[in-house]
Amino acid sequence: MAASWTFAVARAELSRTTLVEWAVPELSDGETLLRVDRVGLTANNVTYAVLGESMRYWEFFPPGRHGLGGQWGLPPLWGFAEVVGSTVAGVEVGQRVYGYLPPAGHLVVRPSRVDASGFRDASVHRAELPSPYNGYRSTVGDPAYRADQEDLLILFRPLFFTSFMLADQIVDNDCYGATSLVFSSASSKTAYAAAVELRGRGARLVGLTSPGNLAFTRSLGCYDEVLPYDGIAALDPVPTAYLDLSGAPATRAALRRHLGDRLVRDIAVGLTNQIPNADAAGEVFFAPVQMRKRRLDWGRDGLDQRFADAWRRFADVAGEWVDVQLGTGPGALERAWLDVLAGVTPPRAGRVVQF
Ligand X SMILES: NC(=O)c1ccc[n+]([C@@H]2O[C@H](COP(=O)([O-])OP(=O)(O)OC[C@H]3O[C@@H](n4cnc5c(N)ncnc54)[C@H](OP(=O)(O)O)[C@@H]3O)[C@@H](O)[C@H]2O)c1
Let me know if 301 is exposed, middle or buried by CB neighbors in 10 A (0-12, 13-18, 19+).
Answer: exposed
Subset of 221-240 contacting ligand X (CB under 6 A): none
Among 159, 281, 310, 352, binds ligand X (CB under 6 A): 159
Task: Considering the complex, state which of residue 22 and residue 58 has its C-beta at the smaller distance from ligand X.
Answer: 58
Least distance to ligand X, CB of residue 29, Å: 35
Least distance to ligand X, CB of residue 215, Å: 12
Among 117, 210, 325, 354, binds ligand X (CB under 6 A): 210
Going by C-alpha positions, the residue among 35, 40, 7, 42 that lies closest to residue 21 is 7
Question: How many Å from the N-terminal Cα to the C-terminal Cα in the chain?
Answer: 19
Among 180, 213, 240, 290, binds ligand X (CB under 6 A): 213
Rounded Cα–Cα distance for residues 43 and 29 (Å): 37
3-state secondary structure at position 180: strand
> Among 25-33, 132-140, 183-191, 325-333, which window interacts with ligand X (CB under 6 A)?
183-191
- Length of the chain, in residues: 355
> Among 39-47, 99-107, 172-180, 230-238, which window interacts with ligand X (CB under 6 A)?
39-47
Q: Is 273 in the site for ligand X (CB under 6 A)?
A: yes
Q: Is 43 in the site for ligand X (CB under 6 A)?
A: yes
Q: Is 188 in the site for ligand X (CB under 6 A)?
A: yes
Least distance to ligand X, CB of residue 348, Å: 9
Q: What is the DSSP letter of 184?
A: S
Let me know if 277 is exposed, middle or buried by CB neighbors in 10 A (0-12, 13-18, 19+).
Answer: middle
Task: Considering the complex, state which of residue 86 and residue 246 has its C-beta at the smaller distance from ligand X.
Answer: 246
Q: Is 246 in the site for ligand X (CB under 6 A)?
A: yes
Instruction: Give the C-alpha distances (Å, rounded to integers) separating 146 from 139, 143, 182.
Output: 8, 8, 33
Q: Is 209 in the site for ligand X (CB under 6 A)?
A: yes
Q: Is 169 in the site for ligand X (CB under 6 A)?
A: no
Q: What is the DSSP letter of 238?
A: S
Task: Considering the complex, state which of residue 3 and residue 284 has its C-beta at the smaller distance from ligand X.
Answer: 284
Among 101, 182, 232, 287, binds ligand X (CB under 6 A): 287
Least distance to ligand X, CB of residue 74, Å: 17
Going by C-alpha positions, the residue among 76, 137, 133, 86 that lies closest to residue 109 is 86
Rounded Cα–Cα distance for residues 105 and 168 (Å): 37
Least distance to ligand X, CB of residue 42, Å: 3
Contact by Cβ (8 Å): 341, 14: yes
Phi first, then psi, for residue 95 (nearest 5°) are -65, 140
Among 189, 252, 265, 294, binds ligand X (CB under 6 A): 189
List alpha helices for the chain, DSSP H.
43-50, 150-172, 189-198, 214-220, 249-259, 287-318, 330-342
Q: Is 272 in the site for ligand X (CB under 6 A)?
A: yes
Least distance to ligand X, CB of residue 274, Å: 6
Least distance to ligand X, CB of residue 217, Å: 6
Task: Considering the complex, state which of residue 2 and residue 55 has its C-beta at the smaller distance from ligand X.
Answer: 55
Q: Is 343 in the site for ligand X (CB under 6 A)?
A: yes
Among 17, 44, 86, 95, binds ligand X (CB under 6 A): 44
CA angle at 109 for the pair 106 and 113, rounded to the nearest 5°: 145
Rounded Cα–Cα distance for residues 128 and 289 (Å): 17
CA atoms within 13 A on the CB side of 331: 1
Among 47, 123, 138, 180, binds ligand X (CB under 6 A): 47
Enumerate binding residues for ligand X (CB under 6 A): 42-44, 47, 159, 162, 185-190, 209-210, 213, 245-246, 269-274, 285, 287, 343, 347
